Amino acid sequence: MDVLISGAGIAGPTLAWWLLHDGHRVTIVEKAPAFRAGGYVIDFWGKGFDLAERMGLMPRLERVGYHVNEVRFIDREGRRMGGFDVSVLDRVTGGRFISLPRGELARALFEAVEDRVEAIFGDEIASLEEDRDGAKVWLASGQERFFDLVVGAEGIHSRTRELVFGPERRFECFLGYNFAAFTIDGYPRRDPDVYLMYGEPGRQAARFTLYGDSSLVLLIWRDPEGGPIPHDLAGQRALIRSRYAGAGWEVADFLAGLDAADDLYLDRVSQIRMDRWHDGPVALLGDAAYAPSFLAGQGSALAMIGGYVLAGELKRAGDDIPLALANYQRRLFHLMRSKQNGAMGMASTFVPKTDFGLRVRATAAKLLGIGWFADLVIGRSIRDQIDLPDYF
């Protein structure tokens, strides 16, 4: 088959890898002019970890990843006010748990396929229509191409989804927060392997020390109205400044570092909920179809699982693409919905609204310091309720 994958994030290159494994021809079109790295640190375990291992990526991911020791809650003056030791995660996963900059995972996946696919950067699908047993696609650059299958793996703001299924607002489920992630080079304070979190009612800030001399900053704040996110960098910086004016701990230093950060990522915290992930020769994959939001803590792994299962069902169905797409959705729908429901259940308390709520959270976190309790609670919440078929 000739397959067009739109989006070189996490889901797209994973699908490409397994399609190549099965002998298909793959074209990847990516809107950004060059490969997009950057981003926050994600936690990686479960079936995503298993797949990365099967794809031979773990030695590389171990080199660029982190083993976080502690999540530490900080007060206004920078003093420790609570937290927990995260060795529980190593324990309940049998050591199969790693924290990774999202960009490093994406880069490892893309580099595993880039020599074997046709990769087109700085372009995107302008329009497409069903044609014979596939799809005719017009790229924004003017190229007209035919593919047996087109897969939209463009993340939460998917263009293919809009072209084929309708506007984003029909599928977006906003969870009441905005977030921003960026790195600061040369930040003076360094706390390796500790995730530092500071909260005030309605807004939260976190810092994580990266290799080299970089530090990652993650800001999450409540926005019940879900106002629009500015598209321009100056507008985005101004929005962040206005939401974090007067905040304590090191937040003033973060805001000072914001101007020099060239990797600012700012968005609403939303899910994508669709009843159908495919239509004719077009399928959606990853966040484009079933973004769980970062509150699920597992979007990258779910995007990888999606890529593997889609490729596997295509292999099983032979030439019958509609059957493969139906089976892809059938096999994964329940898993994705349950992860989304879990994340949605956390949304109301994720950033406490009051000082009292912040204290309750710090106290609850202390319970996670008790080994058996942490094993029970965390062990249950991070299990992936799916057995992945051995397609290949």
Kindly state whether residue 7 participates in binding ligand FAD, applying the rule CB under 6 A: yes
- Give the integer Cα–Cα distance in Å for 265 and 182: 6
Report the site for ligand FAD in 181-210 (rule: CB under 6 A). Answer: 181
Query: Which of 274, 291 has the CB closer to ligand FAD?
Result: 291
Can you give the length of the chain in residues? Answer: 392
Report the site for ligand FAD in 294-333 (rule: CB under 6 A). Answer: 294, 297-301, 303
Axis crossing angle, helix 11-21 with helix 299-317, rounded to the nearest 10: 30
Query: Which of 18, 179 has the CB closer to ligand FAD?
Result: 179
Part of the chain binding ligand FAD (CB under 6 A), chosen from 6-14, 16-24, 308-316, 338-346:
6-14
Q: Least distance from C-beta 124 to ligand FAD, angstroms? A: 4
Report the site for ligand FAD in 93-112 (rule: CB under 6 A). Answer: 102
Q: Least distance from C-beta 356 to ligand FAD, angstroms? A: 26
For residue 58, give every residue at least 6 positions away whose Cβ sits within 8 Å of its Cβ, in sequence order, or none: 49, 52
Part of the chain binding ligand FAD (CB under 6 A), chosen from 24-32, 64-72, 126-134, 209-217:
24-32
Question: Beta strands 118-121 and 97-101: pairing type?
Answer: unpaired
Residue 148 Rama label (left phi>0; alpha psi -120 to 50; beta): alpha
What helix, strand, coil percent values describe the chain, rounded to 5?
40, 30, 35
Kindly state whether residue 179 participates in binding ligand FAD, applying the rule CB under 6 A: yes
- Give the integer Cα–Cα distance in Å for 387 and 392: 14
Query: Which of 323, 338 has the CB closer to ligand FAD?
Result: 338
Kindly state whether residue 46 participates in binding ligand FAD, applying the rule CB under 6 A: no
Q: Least distance from C-beta 179 to ligand FAD, angstroms? A: 5
**Three-class SS state of 204:** strand
User: Residue 20: exposed, middle, or buried by beta-carbon count in 10 A (0-12, 13-18, 19+)?
Assistant: middle
**β-pair partners for 270:** 174
H or E stretch at 285: none
Report the site for ligand FAD in 346-385 (rule: CB under 6 A). Answer: none
Q: Least distance from C-beta 212 to ligand FAD, angstroms? A: 21
Q: Least distance from C-beta 35 to ligand FAD, angstroms? A: 8
Q: Name residue, tokens 């696919």.
A: 117
Question: For ligand FAD, what does the binding mask look like between residues 112 and 151, x meaning CB under 6 A?
Answer: ------------x---------------------------
Query: Which of 216, 358 has the CB closer to ligand FAD?
Result: 216
- Of 50, 104, 154, 250, the residue at the interface with ligand FAD (CB under 6 A) is 154
H or E stretch at 155: none
Per-residue 3-state assignment (H helix, E strand, C coil) for 337-382 = HHHHHHHHHHHCCCCCCCHHHHHHHHHHHHHCCCHHHHHHHHHHHC
Report the site for ligand FAD in 277-296 (rule: CB under 6 A). Answer: 286-288, 291, 294
Site for ligand FAD, rule CB under 6 A: 6-12, 29-32, 36, 40, 42-44, 102, 124, 153-155, 159, 179, 181, 286-288, 291, 294, 297-301, 303
